[in-house]
Amino acid sequence: MRNTQEVEKFIELEQFLKDNILKTITIKEGLDSLLKLNTIEKNYLILAYLLPKEEIEEAINLYDNTHPRVDELLFVHSLSIKYNVDKNTIIKRIQQVRRIMRYEENLSKKSKKTK
């Protein structure tokens, strides 16, 4: 249950980023929005801002569907260079995005079963 709640929070924060940070007119408005969040949420949003979910998801899908598969370390290294962050940050963000992807896929399967 905790994992589900955590992923749901990730999704909520992704939407918060789109609605309140990326569309913010001024830096002050963005900072005011951030001040309402706890440290864990702020850290998540920083990663989400630096490494956009859609871009990481696209890279993951490309990696997963490439045959023969690219070396995992090379994949992580190329993303760390592209986004100018360390490899541990890339790995953490990949894990977050994969969890969101699995959650959304499971939701999709459940909704198809109920139809």
d(CA 39, CA 19): 19
Give the span between the Cα atoms of 89 and 45, in whole angstroms: 13
How remote is the C-alpha of 35 from its chain's centroid?
21
- DSSP code of 52? -
pTM over 0.75: yes
Predicted confidence (pLDDT) per residue in 9-65, tens digit: 899 888 888 877 666 656 667 667 777 888 888 889 889 989 999 999 999 999 999
Q: 102 pLDDT exceeds 90? A: yes
Task: Tell me if residue 94 falls in helix, strand or coil.
Answer: helix
- Residue 99 above 90 pLDDT? yes
| Tokens describing residue 50 | 């630096």
Amino acid at 70: V
Q: Among 5-9, 15-19, 74-78, 90-94, which stretch is predicted with the lowest mean pLDDT?
A: 15-19
